[in-house]
Structure 1
């Protein structure tokens, strides 16, 4: 029996950014194409990014030195110390971008990279959404770019690992589960019945028209 079903799959985003990267803008994620074995050809999945972070291992600049803040400091004093820490330390920069088929490239955020040994993490999801996941339309592309923030690009042994997890969903369609026996192996597959249903409906229309003519 045919019913409406969605197909899901898990996808990992994994990319190493190092001294070989120049200032070019690099696409790192767009929902994947549906393969011929999937539900519908020539369509992309939609995506739900459940995690996306940077692992930052920068050693080509001086180590980060934080301005100490007293536990009883006011909000103004904390803000001042934070700003002095930011401006007083060497840093690199990674720009995060997004675009769609109708919207040109837009910068989402600048993520500054410091030398905090041995390494540290930056969660990118808060730059994209205030929710636990970020929904990606089939035509949306996420990109990054390494930018000179006054201390050069990545160099030497600098490494930034971009790591994420995405749940991708195929478009809904009319599906029926069948079992195929191939060399003694039972394989469950999903057949798209929508084209077959449309063909049967068109054929029935032709039959009705012929019967009406014969009856006349």
Structure 2
């Protein structure tokens, strides 16, 4: 894993409070972005230094999504995108002019519905590829609106759902870059995300040397 783009800044870390109801549905999200408010400038500087790298853009606040996607498109960089449901209704339309330039867009079922509505109501073009997750139902990889591959997650008792989408996206992109077929990459990514959800989060404790 290459950490050369890591930036360490003095100040408060981003903190999120996520509330769910008794059925496990998201009720509210509150955010304090801390030093991550400087993320856009750092991303733009990284793109300027390495315009031919591949990028994955998590379209969520406080990132200036249009500025980053415009910079990637202008320099011809390869990139993929995902969204965060609480801000998707605002950021999918903001990202719309550049979505057709992305290799892949990762979305859950609710985000995919928003994505389809936005792309139908604009002249932004067609999204090349979309990977759609839908809880325990099959994950679908669509290419120009046609099913390219699908994989049903194996049953696992969920213990930690936060980060499952990031695990799936990162694993799928890595396997694709290593030459796996879409079906093989998707199957491997779904299994990785399932292992993540079935693993308890380690309890915080003192560091050990």
Structure with greater contact order relative to length (CA < 8 Å, sep ≥ 6): 1
Q: Which has the higher helix share?
A: 2
TM-score, structure 2 length as denominator?
0.20
Structure exhibiting the larger radius of gyration computed from Cα positions? 1
Q: Which has the higher strand share?
A: 1
